[in-house]
């Protein structure tokens, strides 16, 4: 049961702003979300309904999980 990982337009622009190696590490982390959208180290953001965050190096990836549709929607990628 694999999830689809989608990027919001703003998250896509933020991803493209990173340097090559950092960008590759983030993409690898995003691909891993397809099989496990709640990996070790994930934190649910307080004060928000369904937002989660994971870290890749100094970057934060903020996303929401839609379990019924099997979709992970990345809403923001940025430095801590």
Question: Could you list the residue range(s) of the whole structural domain that residue 67 is in?
Answer: 4-79
pLDDT tens digits, residue range 20-51?
999 999 999 999 999 999 999 999 999 878 89
> What is the model's pLDDT at position 40?
93
What is the average pLDDT across 64-79? 95
Q: What sections of the chain are H helices per DSSP?
A: 9-16, 20-32
- In terms of Cα–Cα distance, which of 65, 35, 70, 38 is closest to 54? 38
> What is the model's pLDDT at position 48?
79
CA 16 to chain centre: 14
User: What total number of domains does the chain contain?
Assistant: 1
Measure the CA–CA gap between 19 and 37, rounded to whole angstroms. Answer: 25
Measure the CA–CA gap between 23 and 30, rounded to whole angstroms. Answer: 10
CATH assignment at residue 27: 3.30.2310.20
pLDDT tens digits, residue range 2-15?
999 999 999 999 99
Measure the CA–CA gap between 18 and 78, rounded to whole angstroms. Answer: 9
């Amino acid at each position: 049961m694999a999830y689809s990982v989608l990027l919001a337009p703003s998250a896509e622009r933020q991803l493209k702003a990173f340097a090559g190696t950092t960008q590759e590490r983030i993409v690898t982390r995003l691909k891993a979300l397809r099989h496990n959208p709640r990996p070790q180290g994930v934190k649910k953001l307080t004060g928000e309904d369904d937002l989660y965050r994971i870290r890749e190096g100094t970057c934060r990836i903020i996303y929401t999980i839609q379990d019924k549709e099997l979709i992970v929607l990345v809403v923001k990628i940025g430095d801590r």
